[in-house]
Structure formats: C-alpha cells, structure tokens
C-alpha cells in the first residue's frame, strides 16, 4: 500500500483509504496474501490530518484479521484524528477489523457484510507458560475496552458475543451481519457509500 491508495473524492477533499486483507505488522506475510501494511498506513493518516486540503476521511474496510498490535495502533491513530472520519465495512471485518471499524467517528456497514468477534488466539505452536496466557488476557482487555469506548455496545454483551460457543464450527465467537451489528450497537448505521459520504459532507 502506498499513497496511490489514498484517493481524493470529488466531494470537497474527502480522502479515501482502503484497509483490506490482513493487517501486516512486523512479521511479513507471504506474497500471495492480500495485506495492508501498517507502517504505510500510519504516515498516510498523519498526512491527512495535517493536510489543509483534506476535509474528512472515509475508511473502506474488508479485513480478515492480522497483527493485533499493528491493528490497534492504526485504530488509535484514527480515533485521535480531529477531522471528520467515517468507516464503511464491506465484505467483512474480522477480529482486529472490529476496533478499526469503530475507531471512526461514525461507522457504517452494508447489509451483506459480516463482523467476526472472537477471543485473541494464535495459530500453530504456543509456548504454554503462564505469561503467554497473561498476555492474551491483557491484549483482549485492550481490544474490548477500545471497542466499547468507541461504540454503543456494552462490555457485558461484547464479552458474551466474543466468547459464544455453538455458532462458529471451529472457533469460539460470533458473526454479526449488517442489521445485527447495528442492533447490537457495534456499528452506528446500516448503509453504503452514499450514506457514508452524505454523513461526512454534513460533518464537514
């Protein structure tokens, strides 16, 4: 991802950034994996905040998880921007895609999109020392607190959905589609590009 991914719409300087695939952090992913590199995203977000011609930011999201620390860094930066920000979930918002979606001042989701909530876990071999489980608990707490702070879902309900059994065949957690995500208070509004741009124009 480079600055070509940051396009200016015709709506008075609204910047559009895409966050797709896996969030790549310090560990490089295989070339065939579609990724968003956080070290490219962070300076782009800072540049938009400082650019006087940029009046607002629209994030287009379709994520499948990735590096938790990198995703949280991006989400915290988005949440601290002073210009109007909106996110639009298209396709999916898996794992770290949830805090990225709610980091914007207003979040939108198309009806067919899905958000997957599940506890932090790693694939492959895990060294079973007490510190490993303590780390998982602490980072899960950080994700949950960020999500609750930037959305309208309660902590109790978020924990229940994250730790649900019986819905995902090979995992713990829940999948929320557009209407349910709005009903649960995780996403602000059901809608697509037209609604997201309309809200940003009004916010500007």
Please list the active-site residues: 95, 118
Count how many Cα atoms sit within 13 Å of the Cα of residue 39 in the half-sphere of its side chain.
Answer: 5
H-only helix segments in the chain? 38-50, 68-79, 97-102, 130-149, 155-162, 178-183, 193-203
Q: How far is CA 149 from the centre of its chain?
A: 14
Cα angle 167, 173, 174 (rounded to 5 degrees) comes to 60
Count how many Cα atoms sit within 13 Å of the Cα of residue 92 in the half-sphere of its side chain.
Answer: 12
For the record, the structure tokens of 16 come out as 């559009």
């Amino acid at each position: 991802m480079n600055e070509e991914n940051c396009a200016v719409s015709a709506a008075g300087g609204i910047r559009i950034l895409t966050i797709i695939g896996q969030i790549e952090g310090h560990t490089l992913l295989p070339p065939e994996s579609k990724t968003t590199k956080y070290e490219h995203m962070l300076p782009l977000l800072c540049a938009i905040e400082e650019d006087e011609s940029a009046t607002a930011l629209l994030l287009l999201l379709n994520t499948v998880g990735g590096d938790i620390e990198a995703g949280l860094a991006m989400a915290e930066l988005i949440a601290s921007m002073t210009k109007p920000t909106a996110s639009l979930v298209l396709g999916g918002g898996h794992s770290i895609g949830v805090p990225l979606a709610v980091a914007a001042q207003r979040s939108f989701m198309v009806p067919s999109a899905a958000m997957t909530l599940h506890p932090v876990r790693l694939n492959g071999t895990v060294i079973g020392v007490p510190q490993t489980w303590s780390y998982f608990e602490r980072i899960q707490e950080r994700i949950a607190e960020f999500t609750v702070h930037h959305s309208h879902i309660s902590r109790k309900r978020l924990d229940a959905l994250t730790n649900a059994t019986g819905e995902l065949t090979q995992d713990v957690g829940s999948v929320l589609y557009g209407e349910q995500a709005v009903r649960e208070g995780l996403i602000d509004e059901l809608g697509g590009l037209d609604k997201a741009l309309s809200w940003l124009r009004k916010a500007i």
